Amino acid sequence: MRIEFSPFSADDIDALADFLTGNDWPFHAGTQDAETVRRRAADGLYWNDESRTFWMLADGERAGLVRLQDLADDTPMFDLRIRESRRGQGLGTAAVAWLTPYLFTEFPHVLRIEATTRQDNHAMRTILRRSGYAKEAHYREAWPSRDGGTPHDSVGYAVLRRDWLSGTVTHPDWHDEPATRSR
């Protein structure tokens, strides 16, 4: 399979609206209607000083979308979406393998890249670990349910520039709390 990344353009607004509203996104909070997507795209949300969006093309088909966010900061984040019919084919792994060097190369001020996902999104968590991202955070009941029910736990991962350059992964010191007495 040939995978390429193509920048989003103003000509892609209708395709973007179709893509975002025509697929189920079980691990994303909230949904948008097509007109909201079109308005946000026309207002520059998907390509500006703070954000860049790319289509992920698999053998020429728009199989996914990568939105890079907070690009003026030293710690950008990303939103990754794979079309329902293309999930489980390695496209998420390919996207993270592309976006990590892209961000560190194109944005020399970037020190780290963060990713946050739901605790039960096992596929994304596996991709992040295999891509050199270390788990740095666990937020209990921090991810809203789409149906308004019990919120999900959220987990945060990051890759440091120095780790990316050296091909290593440094993990946080999870045992840095001072000893406390029980109540």
Average pLDDT of the residues in 137-144: 93
- Give tens-digit pLDDT for 23-76: 888 887 666 789 999 999 999 999 999 999 999 999 999 999 999 999 999 999
C-beta neighbour count of 143 within 10 angstroms: 21
pLDDT of residue 6: 97
Q: What is the mean pLDDT of the chain?
A: 93
Type of residue numbered 177: E
Q: Which is nearest to 172 in space by CA: 181, 159, 161, 154?
A: 159
pLDDT of residue 180: 76
- Give tens-digit pLDDT for 110-134: 999 999 999 999 999 999 999 999 9
What is the assigned CATH class of domain 3-166?
A: alpha beta
> What are the boundaries of each domain within the chain?
3-166
Cα dist. 83→1, 22, 25, 65, 114 in Å? 16, 9, 9, 8, 22
